[in-house]
Amino acid sequence: MTQAKNSSPSMAKTALGQAGPLVSRMGLGTMTFGAETDEEESFRQLDLFVDQGGTFLDTADVYGGGTSEEIIGKWGRRRGGMGELVLATKGRFAPPPGSHGASRRAIVRSVDASLKRLQVEAIDVYFIHGWDRHTDVAESLATLDDLVSAGKIHNIAWSNVCGWQIQKIVSTARAQRYPVPVAVQPQYNLLDRGIELEVLPCCLEEGMSLTPWSPLGGGWLTGKYTADARPTGATRLGEDPDRGVEAYDLRNTSRTHAVLETLRSIASDHGRPPAHVALAWLGSRPGVASILLGARTAEQLADNLAARDLVLATPELEALTKVSSPGLPAYPYGFLEDWSQLDVWKTLGT
């Protein structure tokens, strides 16, 4: 058994929230593990990520039906432990029969099951994977507080929530002296900036970080999809063109292709692939702590990790922000901007 290695210092790190751990600016999302990527190839990705200085691993109990966590656990045991790595997982969508996803019974059992699969004593960042309308958020927070006190998790976070839900979580946590989330994990990329209306301003106001998923818009921002040819073959959209919020027909719009045109132009100026520019733009956004990279192969991961040293000039960032702007609804947002002098959306270029 080999000893855990120290990560290369080549990747910058940022704290999650006001009191969370330091994480690498690029994280490894492992939704493909055990589903689209077998164990051997998953090990290759994990080895590559750590060798390149990555420290933030993100998984969930539903990825591969638990196989993603099992693969990470086997890999960690093989290398002698997780060392300085920051390990995040999620629970909510695989509750035990008879329980709602964010209830006390479900969270306790989910955490214990994840610890066993990951072969660790504690989870560094535990995300509630989505809102549970059947469970009072105070019950979820009280349970998470107990698990922090028991040493089973170190920090809490939420994923896939809207602005009022985040505020309810934070307000309840502060009022009852429960742990406050250090991060929120939303979809965020040049093609989907909807979180800028409420989620991102709320996170900035409350001192929480973002760890965005789908930074390349389901593959659109790599430039491999075109307006006149539905994708086919061994890609996510090729295998499932109707893939949720990333569906081909949903994204195949004039706005998307205007963004891609600007993206390709800037990428050409830098001698880089469009994906690097898209990742550099996202990494520059306020509140973004770590971008989650998901890949099927180590080669794909290596291509994306190579974007970490790209810094875009201010005019380039402004051009991308302008062309991808979703626009601000006149009410209440435009009204608040004009009559209450709120400048957050102007600052974000929404």
Which amino acid, one-letter code, is at 196? Answer: E
Question: Residue 3 has what pLDDT?
Answer: 40
Question: Residue 238 has what pLDDT?
Answer: 63
Cβ count near 242 (within 10 Å): 10
Long-range CB pairs of 265-273 (<8 Å, 24+ gap) are 266/312, 266/316, 266/319, 266/320, 269/316, 270/310, 272/307, 272/310, 273/222, 273/223, 273/303
User: What's the CA gap between 270 and 235, in Å, rounded?
Assistant: 26
> Would you please indicate which residues are annotated as catalytic (active-site) residues?
63
Residues of the chain with pLDDT under 50: 1-9
Question: Residue 245 has what pLDDT?
Answer: 74
How far from 56 is each of 89, 274, 293, CA to CA, in Å? 11, 24, 10
Question: Residue 5 has what pLDDT?
Answer: 44
Question: Residue 266 has what pLDDT?
Answer: 98
Which amino acid, one-letter code, is at 285? Answer: R
74: buried, middle or exposed (CB in 10 Å: 19+, 13-18, 0-12)? middle
User: What's the CA gap between 176 and 141, in Å, rounded?
Assistant: 9
